[in-house]
Structure formats: C-alpha cells, structure tokens
Amino acid sequence: MTVDARIAIVGGSIGGLTAGVLLHELGLDVHIYERSSVALESRGAGIVVLPMTERYFTERGGDDDRVSLELPWWKYVDGSGIELSADLDHFRFSSWNTVYRALLKAFPEDRYHYGKEMTGFHEDGSALAVEFADGTDTGADLLVCADGVASTGRRLLLPDVEPSYAGYVAWRGTAAESDLSAGTVDELADSMLYQVLAPGHILVYAIPGPDGSLDPGRRLQNFVWYRNYEAGEPFESLMRDRNGEVRASSVPPGLVAPRHLDEMRAVAATLAPTIQEVVLAASEPFVQVIFDLETPRMAFDRVCLMGDAAFSARPHVAAGTAKAAADAWALRDALRDHADIAAALAAWEKSQLELGHSVVERSRAMGRRSQFDQTMVPGDPDWKFGLFGAGN
C-alpha cells in the first residue's frame, strides 16, 4: 500500500535528515538537497533530547545507540547559588552536531546533495520540477520543505506567513569542562541548573564534548540565557555583527559585536557563581533570536512543510527538534499506509497541525511568564520540557 514515489527533501538539518532516513528505509527514492556547500556545524550548540528526537536511535539499537547523556536532576538556584528546589526528572541532553552527524551517517552519502539552494518549483507534467540557485532542477513526486524558519518553500506557498519576533533573544555558548573549576564541574555533573531572573532566566546543562565524549570532565557545559531587547534599538544594534552586517535570526559565534559581548559579561555578575563561571568561560557566545511562527496549512497537493518551516516554537518546551522528528515519523507512517500522495498528506497534516499549534501556544505562554509577567516560579511542575505537555 506504500506510496511509490520519488521524494525531494529540501533542507538537510535534523528534521530533513530524520525524514530522509525513515523514508529511505521505507524503500522510497529519497534525495536530500542542502543549500550549504559543506556538512553543517554548530547549530544551536546544546539541545534537550526528548524521546522523539532520538527515537530512530533507540528503536534501532537501544541504549548503546543513544546520542545523548542523562542529567537526573533539574535544580533551581538563587543568585548566591543556594539550591531552591530539586526534581529528579531524568531529562537527556546532547549537541546539535552530535545528533546531526549520527543521522548523516545513517543516510546514503550519494543521496545527500550539498550546495543546492531551492529557488522555486513548478508542475512538470505528472510530477514537480524543483529548481535550484545553481541553475539545475530535479523531478519529484513529493517535495518536502524542511528548510527552517526562513523557509523558501513557505514563502512561496504562504507568502503572508512570517516569523514574529518575541521581544527577546537567547544568548548561548559552551565552555569546556576542562576550563572550569572542579567545584563547578562537580555541581553540574548530574544536574541542570536554572536561575530565575527579573526579568528572564538562564539554564546550564552538560552536552557531549567535541569528540562526542559523555564523560564528566571531557564534556561541554552549555548555557542559554534569555534576555529582553525591544524591537528597534537596542535589538537592531545587537543584530549588527562585528563586521557591520545585519543578521536576521542569529549572530553566529565569533561575530557578536565586542560592545555587546562586554555588556553581557558585565551583567553576568548578577548570576549564581556556578552559572556565572560557565558564561564567562564561554569563548564565543552567540545570539539566537526568539520567534513565534504558525502556519494554517502544511500540505499542498504534492508539497508539504515540516519542522521549523511550518512551526517555530520558543525553546522553553525544548521541542524544536522533537517536533521536526515527530513530523518525519508521522509522514513515514502516512506514506506507508496510503497509496496516494494527496491522501497521505491530508492524513498527516491533520495531526501535525494540531501538535504544532499546541507546542507554539505552550511555549508562548511560558515566554510571557518568564520574560514579561515575571511569574515564573522555581520548582513549578508546569515548567518542564515536553513535546506533548509538561514532562511528556
């Protein structure tokens, strides 16, 4: 009953790769087209790994194939470092690079095409023709747009749907545990630390080291610090990098203007000692803009939007990669269970639209509490990661 189709996936990040691996293993003719000319690197530094994010690895090989480490404790501390609460939650953490590289190894090398930026698509008889910036094109029966929050596919299909700035950014960075004091490494050995600020909040957690090591002392400590910047100035100044280029969604490592780095590090004096040490030890902090994005549709005859191309949720629920993976698994099931592409996409869209809207709304409500209403409370059981709800 499985669809017999040639599938073009535009966007080779975690969501696109998950879809590619699953559909290839289903026996479909799948190719991934990535606009970068080389393998992707260092997107987002650390990530929380919800079960859906690494479902492929756990179902394939169990614990030996996992791409994450577990930190049993979720702790809140005050500005002095005094513990305010501790929950035994057993969340898992990794780096974007670790998950991406593992998925890349699972997909055929000759079907992952670099330097292919999609510029458009059009009907070509009974199939689609997908066009690229290098002047080439390719035929496909199904086009999957997994090309992120700045999706070309979404712009072509839904030109009025754009990301909306949430009013704050995430300062992010990593520090090698070998550069941290023994006391800090020990405190973070099995715990994620949160500190509630006024306004905002910051969290620190361990992720695999550059070589993939999960051993304490050889890992990285990752921080995510949410800070408000009003639209216009000072936000526009922050997004102008050290070379004067205005960035749309992030200012990459090494390119944040020195005066903004100096200001951020000065404000770090308000942080708990352990958290402050990690922030100040990070060599190249970067800035990630926080957006809301919701689409009214994900399926368009023989084209679909998935992952951040369709819904971009604030990171507080830690469900960005999990939502993209969930889209991929649901698409695999729909194409497996239907012989017709349009019917498969219609079945797939209903569930994934509902999930996308719920994730965005929950993350938006959490952001209002922490950044503007200042009603975030240490130890709140509703403030938990989860794709399907707090802790789920």
Q: How many residues does the chain have?
A: 392
pLDDT attached to residue 62: 61
* Residue range 174-201, pLDDT digits in tens: 999 999 999 999 999 999 999 999 999 9
pLDDT attached to residue 241: 97
Cβ–Cβ < 8 Å for 194, 201: yes
Distance CA 214, CA 85 (A): 26
Share of the chain above pLDDT 70, in %: 97
- Verify cis geometry, omega within 30 degrees of 0, for the bond prior to 199: yes
Half-sphere exposure of 217 (CA within 13 A, CB side): 1
Task: State yes or no: pLDDT of 333 exceeds 60.
Answer: yes
Neighbours of 169 (CB within 10 A): 23
* Residue range 341-352, pLDDT digits in tens: 999 999 999 999
Assess if CATH 3.50.50.60 describes domain 6-58+98-163+292-371: yes
Task: State yes or no: pLDDT of 64 exceeds 60.
Answer: no
Maximum CA extent, the chain: 67
pLDDT attached to residue 180: 97
Neighbours of 147 (CB within 10 A): 28
> Quick one: DSSP state of residue 179?
G
Domain 6-58+98-163+292-371 and domain 63-94+166-290 have a common topology: no
Task: State yes or no: pLDDT of 35 exceeds 90.
Answer: yes
Cβ–Cβ < 8 Å for 139, 183: no
* Residue range 36-50, pLDDT digits in tens: 988 776 555 799 999
* Residue range 218-261, pLDDT digits in tens: 999 999 999 999 998 899 999 999 999 999 999 999 999 999 99
CATH of domain 63-94+166-290: 3.30.9.60
pLDDT attached to residue 67: 84
Q: Classify strands 164-176 and 220-228 as parallel, antiparallel or unpaired.
A: antiparallel
Residue whose tokens read 């712009």: 155
pLDDT attached to residue 151: 97
Distance CA 45, CA 67 (A): 14
Q: Classify strands 127-132 and 164-176 as parallel, antiparallel or unpaired.
A: unpaired
Q: What average pLDDT does this structure show over 95-116?
A: 94
Helix (H) or strand (E) holding 331: helix 320-337
* Residue range 261-296, pLDDT digits in tens: 999 999 999 999 999 999 999 989 999 999 999 999
* Position 65 confidence tier, pLDDT thresholds 50, 70, 90: low
**Domain spans, the chain:** 6-58+98-163+292-371, 63-94+166-290
